């Protein structure tokens, strides 16, 4: 509600307009009563014309007020939604991965879109209907008492009848709605299963069994629908009967009162209209009460995001002077998710230096991806420290740290725009030549040149118009174009085929001569030549060293290699490794020679 504050004067204006509208609307039946009493009955045609003009005038005023009120409620609702949407978006963008752990992207998107729309509708309805109902009631009561005080009790009878009907129907039906949703979900689920499991179902010849399951769910659903509908269908006839009944009551009472005063003749039809309008506003109000809980759920979901506190606080200014030579050092780093028991990373220490590749391998859940996500401070270690270029990452200003890192996530992520705008995402001032060069290294130049507008080719939302492998290569180009001190490849090569993977790694060599390269990989072939391989098992370091060394003495690494090679190949690899180790030529391996050649 605090988002309504800036619009208080609009809300006040709205209430005034609404009051005026309600008042004028209520004058109309009174005027009509006068026309009947003083005009028609007495045959005073002049009066009829005069009151008629008054009526039209009032109707116009009322219409204007009604327009102002309903426009203002919409405008305030729109402004409110805009502010709320902005606040949520800003919050989500500024929060860290760790803070957002409990939400997935779809749910966050939903909260920023659908939920806010729900709340916006609720605000509009509160402003138009909920405010109007009490104003209407009070003024109508005043008018009713003025015109015919003896008939006021009819309003109470009518309103009570309406409320009772609505409440009774809602109480019987609303609990069934939840069940209804559940059954609808079940039918949808079974349909989806039949579609996604099409081949399996046919392979096992289980079409009949599936049909039986579906028919059962369908029957249950149909039975419930019939039950709910049979009750819901009561609403309209009942409400009609109540409206007609009260009108009849008004006329009847009016006629009995006629013996006292002939003026009741006009009054009773005016009165009947007041009663109908008051009852109408109560009806609207009760509908509102059915819809509000839904908006309330949405508001709660939005607040969950807005109330999320970040656990990572950046320095305003970088403390200390980072060294010129890039390096990444982990000192006894532990990490565990807040509220979780098990450590994801346990006592990790290593140093990665410029010009070398440090690779991380291990099974799913071993923590390798989490580890590299600590480097750009997406998560905060629970214990230990991380030094980048000799300075603790906690002492960096956010932009200073990010500028040093070229991060390539597991899934290639692109933004709508052009190929060029995507590559220049982290380096807005890059020249055309730099963009082309980056694409070339990332092995992306081939397919980009084939696109109709080349580097100016349009990229659709989320990069949905290019393939997975192409997306990945453009994201690699984006990191290269930034010319960072530290490259982080979080399993970025698995979407590429072996050949491209190999070519790309060769092309990276010259530009990473003065950079730290951190690589998470699934395939042994991707990281075989890394200067340092860190094997992770359940969050702990199970081995550290070169391919050859690990193959000889690290059980976990051996298992990984075995699972990817045939037995014979594994044997030959092992022999090769042992030979290499024996010749103790660890320092001058093929990679160094290759590098020399490039230099």
Q: Of 282-311, which residues contact other proteins (CB under 8 A)? A: none
Under a CB-based contact definition with an 8 Å cutoff, are residues 599 and 538 in contact? Answer: no
52 binds other proteins (CB under 8 A): yes
Among 391, 423, 435, 560, binds other proteins (CB under 8 A): 560
Find the shortest distance in angstroms from Cβ 577 to other proteins.
Answer: 12
Chain position carrying tokens 């290294």? 441
67 binds other proteins (CB under 8 A): yes
Burial 24-37 (b: 16+ CB within 10 A, else e): bbbbbbbbbbbbbb
Grouping H, G, I as helix, E, B as strand and the rest as coil, residue 545 is strand
Nearer to other proteins, 113 or 431 (CB): 113
Find the shortest distance in angstroms from Cβ 74 to other proteins.
Answer: 4
Footprint (CB under 8 A) of other proteins, residues 147-186: 184
252 binds other proteins (CB under 8 A): yes
39 binds other proteins (CB under 8 A): yes
Footprint (CB under 8 A) of other proteins, residues 489-548: 494, 497-499, 502, 522, 525, 528-529
Evaluate the CA torsion angle 543, 545, 546, 549 in order and state its sign. Answer: negative
Distances (CA, A) of 162 to 36, 151, 273, 288: 30, 18, 16, 14
Kindly give, in sequence order, each residue whose CB lies less than 8 Å from that of residue 8, ignoring residues fewer than 6 positions away.
none
Under a CB-based contact definition with an 8 Å cutoff, are residues 532 and 352 in contact? Answer: yes
Find the shortest distance in angstroms from Cβ 439 to other proteins.
Answer: 17
Find the shortest distance in angstroms from Cβ 205 to other proteins.
Answer: 5
Find the shortest distance in angstroms from Cβ 120 to other proteins.
Answer: 9
Find the shortest distance in angstroms from Cβ 524 to other proteins.
Answer: 9
519: phi then psi, degrees, rounded to nearest 5? -130, 125
- The full 3-state SS of 250-272, as one line of letters, equals HHHHHHHHHCCCCCHHHHHHHHH
Query: Nearest-5° angle of CA 500, CA 503, CA 506?
Result: 150
Q: Report, in angstroms and rounded to the nearest whole number, the Rg of the chain calculated over CA atoms.
A: 37
Please give the Cα distance from 84 to 73 (Å, whole number): 16
End-to-end CA distance of the chain: 64
Find the shortest distance in angstroms from Cβ 361 to other proteins.
Answer: 11
Find the shortest distance in angstroms from Cβ 499 to other proteins.
Answer: 6
465 binds other proteins (CB under 8 A): no
Helix (H) or strand (E) holding 537: strand 532-537
The token duo for 396 is 């960096």
Q: Which stretch binds other proteins (CB under 8 A): 4-12, 154-162, 170-178, 398-406?
A: 398-406
Find the shortest distance in angstroms from Cβ 253 to other proteins.
Answer: 11
The token duo for 175 is 């609990």
317 binds other proteins (CB under 8 A): no
Find the shortest distance in angstroms from Cβ 45 to other proteins.
Answer: 6
The token duo for 42 is 């007495």
The token duo for 147 is 């015109």
Among 145, 156, 255, 585, binds other proteins (CB under 8 A): 255
Q: Where are the alpha helices (DSSP H) in 197-206?
A: 198-203
Distances (CA, A) of 338 to 108, 344, 382, 512: 20, 11, 9, 36
Among 8, 12, 56, 594, binds other proteins (CB under 8 A): 56
Grouping H, G, I as helix, E, B as strand and the rest as coil, residue 19 is helix
453 binds other proteins (CB under 8 A): no
Among 6, 446, 462, 510, binds other proteins (CB under 8 A): 462
Nearer to other proteins, 13 or 383 (CB): 13
Find the shortest distance in angstroms from Cβ 440 to other proteins.
Answer: 21
Q: Give residue 396's region: left, alpha or beta (phi > 0; psi -120 to 50).
A: beta
Footprint (CB under 8 A) of other proteins, residues 94-133: 94, 96-97, 100, 105, 108-109, 112-113
Nearer to other proteins, 207 or 449 (CB): 207
Among 475, 512, 532, 580, binds other proteins (CB under 8 A): 475
Footprint (CB under 8 A) of other proteins, residues 342-371: 363-366
**Binding-site size, other proteins (CB under 8 A):** 146
Grouping H, G, I as helix, E, B as strand and the rest as coil, residue 292 is helix
Footprint (CB under 8 A) of other proteins, residues 199-238: 199-207, 209-211, 214-215, 218-219, 221-222, 225-226, 229-230, 232-234, 236-238
Please give the Cα distance from 536 to 533 (Å, whole number): 10
62 binds other proteins (CB under 8 A): yes
585 binds other proteins (CB under 8 A): no
Footprint (CB under 8 A) of other proteins, residues 2-31: 28
Among 32, 123, 393, 535, binds other proteins (CB under 8 A): 32
Find the shortest distance in angstroms from Cβ 67 to other proteins.
Answer: 5
Chain position carrying tokens 């390798």? 368
Chain position carrying tokens 């990984």? 560
429 binds other proteins (CB under 8 A): no
1 binds other proteins (CB under 8 A): no
378 binds other proteins (CB under 8 A): yes
Find the shortest distance in angstroms from Cβ 247 to other proteins.
Answer: 7
Nearer to other proteins, 241 or 332 (CB): 241
Among 15, 16, 75, 170, binds other proteins (CB under 8 A): 75
Footprint (CB under 8 A) of other proteins, residues 260-279: 262, 265, 269
Residue 368 CA, chain-centre distance (Å), reads 27
Kindly give, in sequence order, each residue whose CB lies less than 8 Å from that of residue 279, ignoring residues fewer than 6 positions away.
155, 158, 159, 162, 242, 243, 246
Q: Which stretch binds other proteins (CB under 8 A): 71-79, 285-293, 334-342, 445-453?
A: 71-79
Q: Where are the alpha helices (DSSP H) in 197-309?
A: 198-203, 207-258, 264-306
Please give the Cα distance from 524 to 30 (Å, whole number): 89
């Amino acid at each position: 509600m605090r988002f309504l504050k800036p619009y208080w004067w609009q809300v006040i204006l709205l209430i005034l307009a609404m009051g005026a509208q309600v008042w004028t609307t209520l004058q109309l039946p009174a005027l009509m009563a006068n026309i009947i009493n003083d005009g028609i009955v007495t045959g005073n045609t002049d009066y009829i014309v005069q009151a008629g003009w008054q009526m039209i005038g009032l109707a116009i005023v009322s219409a204007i007020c009604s327009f102002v009120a309903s426009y203002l409620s919409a405008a305030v609702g729109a402004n409110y939604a805009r502010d709320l949407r902005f606040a949520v978006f800003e919050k989500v963008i500024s929060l860290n991965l760790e803070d957002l752990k409990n939400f997935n992207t779809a749910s966050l998107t939903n909260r920023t879109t659908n939920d806010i729309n729900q709340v916006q509708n609720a605000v509009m309805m509160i402003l138009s209907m909920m405010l109007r109902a009490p104003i209407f009631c009070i003024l109508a009561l005043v008018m009713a008492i003025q015109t015919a005080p003896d008939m006021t009790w009819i309003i109470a009878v009518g309103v009570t009848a309406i409320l009772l009907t609505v409440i009774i129907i809602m109480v019987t039906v609303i609990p069934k709605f939840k069940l209804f949703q559940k059954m609808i979900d079940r039918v949808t689920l079974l349909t989806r299963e039949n579609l996604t499991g099409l081949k399996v179902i046919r392979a096992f010849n289980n079409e009949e069994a599936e049909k039986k399951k579906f028919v059962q769910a369908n029957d249950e659903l149909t039975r419930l629908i019939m039950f709910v509908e049979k009750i819901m269908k009561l609403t309209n006839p009942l409400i009609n009967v109540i409206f007609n009944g009260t009108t009849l009551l008004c006329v009847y009472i009016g006629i009995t009162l006629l013996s006292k005063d002939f003026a009741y003749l006009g009054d009773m039809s005016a009165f009947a209209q007041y009663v109908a309008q008051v009852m109408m506003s109560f009806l609207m109000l009760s509908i509102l009460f059915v819809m509000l809980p839904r908006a309330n759920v949405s508001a709660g979901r939005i607040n969950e995001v807005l109330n999320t506190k970040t656990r990572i606080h950046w320095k305003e200014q970088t403390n200390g002077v980072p060294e010129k030579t890039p390096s990444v050092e982990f000192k006894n780093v532990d990490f565990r998710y807040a509220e979780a028991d098990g450590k994801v990373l346990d006592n990790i220490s290593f140093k990665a230096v410029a010009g070398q590749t440090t690779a991380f391998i291990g099974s799913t859940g071993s923590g390798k991806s989490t580890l590299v996500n600590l480097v750009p401070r997406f998560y905060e270690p629970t214990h230990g420290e991380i030094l980048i270029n000799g300075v603790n990452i906690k002492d960096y200003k956010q932009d200073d740290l990010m500028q040093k890192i070229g991060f390539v996530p597991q899934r290639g992520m692109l933004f709508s725009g052009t190929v060029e705008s995507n590559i220049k995402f982290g380096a807005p001032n890059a020249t055309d030549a730099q963009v082309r060069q980056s694409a070339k290294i990332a092995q992306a130049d081939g397919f980009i040149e084939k696109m109709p507008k080349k580097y100016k080719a349009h990229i659709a939302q989320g990069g949905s118009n290019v393939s997975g492998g192409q997306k990945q290569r453009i994201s690699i180009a984006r990191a290269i174009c930034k010319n960072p001190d530290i490259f982080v490849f979080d399993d970025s090569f698995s979407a590429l085929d072996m050949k491209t993977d190999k070519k790309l790694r060769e092309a990276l060599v010259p530009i990473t001569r003065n950079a730290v390269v951190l690589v998470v990989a699934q395939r042994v072939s991707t990281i075989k030549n890394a200067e340092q391989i860190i094997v992770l098992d359940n969050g702990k370091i199970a081995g550290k060293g070169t391919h050859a060394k690990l193959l000889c003495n690290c059980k976990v690494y051996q298992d990984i290699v075995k699972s990817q090679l045939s037995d014979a190949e594994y044997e030959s690899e092992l022999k090769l490794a042992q030979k290499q180790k024996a010749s103790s030529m660890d320092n001058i391996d093929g990679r160094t020679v290759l590098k020399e050649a490039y230099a």
